[in-house]
Structure 1
Amino acid sequence: MTSIHRSIFANVGAATISLSLMSLPIPAIAQDDGLHNSSKVFSDPADLSWKHWDDPAELDRTWRAAIVRIPRAPGRSQQLTTDDLEKETVEIEGKLPTVIYLHGCSGIWPGTHSRLKFLADNGFLVIAPASLARETYPRSCNVKTREGALFRGTVVLRRNDAGHAIEMARQLAVVDDKNIVLMGFSEGALATVTFEAQNERQRVRARVAEGWTCILPWPEYRGVNAPESEPVLTLVGEQDPWYQDQWTKGDCAPFLNADNGSKSIVYKDGALAAGAWRVA
């Protein structure tokens, strides 16, 4: 593996292993702005037509509403907007390795902010497109009842948002376009591993998926679509309550290419084994 691969895997592994990350006092900044299940007005699936899937206006909304963090010093980072990055109002020397982070099915929540802060504090520029900023967006899950995949087409919307964010990030002066990593949590992890670049501008250096098993009967939800050039790190708790039925139980190992450094980590002991990352 290259040094950037080792750096990504080491940092994200530490982020997942460290329970102290889960207790960071990060406020739910965006939950009242329609970017979380608790505040979003969802669309009827029947209202979603072919024009919405990759509508430039809808894609732009997810980019403009993205949560951004930029490293400032070891252990310190700052929250910004994509407008700040585009207007180059932030002073930064050189180019930064960049993580495009895909939130879970419930949208932006405190756990999103804690993960972004951890990554930025460790030297990564992190951009989290906000899929719930789309005007036409059917509800995809109910966290309280642990119901997921309520709208099958969500994974296509999420992957379109990811591809747009990667392309937009590649145009920023502060981004090291040779070191862009795609990372996601839960539904965002599903979108991360099944994402397929539509052009060279959407290619990434590596992928990281937290809280997904790569297993579901629907073919577009199953497996890993990363090319050989993009190693994949997946992380999941063996007793994660979301993945205990016959349709979802397991991990991504059977779908990974071990020859390129890809790896599946399954937590079998402690709080992470039971999916502790889902509550903080």
Structure 2
Amino acid sequence: MNRGPSWFNIVSMVVGFAFLYLPIVLLVIYSFNAGRNVAVWEGWSTRWYVELMSNDQLLAAAWVTIRVALLSATIATILGTMAALALVRGGLFYGRSLFSGMVYAPLVMPDVITGLSLLLLFVAVGFSRGFWTITMAHITFSMCFVAVVVQSRLISFDKSLEEAAMDLGAPPMKAFFAVTLPIIAPAVAAGWMLAFTLSLDDLVIASFTTGPGATTLPIKIYSAVRLGVSPEINAVCTILIGIVTIGVIAASLSMKRKEVRRRRDERMAAAANAA
């Protein structure tokens, strides 16, 4: 007899979700607080969102953060997908263990070590710190997350589909883009979303690699919070939460739509073969 979840499991789940999401819910609610004191509720108002639109420093930092996240996530997705392909399809090539270790090293490397090492590298080569150094740093640590996500999908990929396309005359590159890439697209999209979110969230590495005129939003928020939390900080954080939430929902709906289409095509192909 299949028994339902126990009370212990239910309570544990409720406490866990409350611990994770209750602070975020409170932050969103207090972003609509009419008063300046973020610890005292004085009524509903969109005052701080209006004032945020005239805060040039916060808006400039947010624009830098979004540009860095979009560019670094895109490049990290391309490089991470290529690394995953090399690890899954490359076989036992010379230097595989070293390559694999270098790909996965940023996963376990402390952010302070990564940021300091990149800072020393940029200083040694005489590279001016700014937008591009932050972007390169974010590509460095987010690429490995993309590689892990895409590699897990490639391991379970039916390679016979790609081989069938090549048997029908498609070159290897065309077979990859026409057959393999559409099938692993949900994993690639998930890797991109993960890299984008990690870039939005990064504070430590960006603080080591930033320069004049390239202050990211996490750095700006941290500097402002040290002097006290203002309602404008709650407002900009709420907007970031909304952007990430919309992106996750859109990616989830897109992947679900592709999965439904793939199953429909498989049923139609099976019906055609049976006929």
TM-score (norm 2): 0.29
Higher helix content, 1 or 2: 2
Which of the pair has more CA radius of gyration? 2
TM-score (norm 1): 0.28
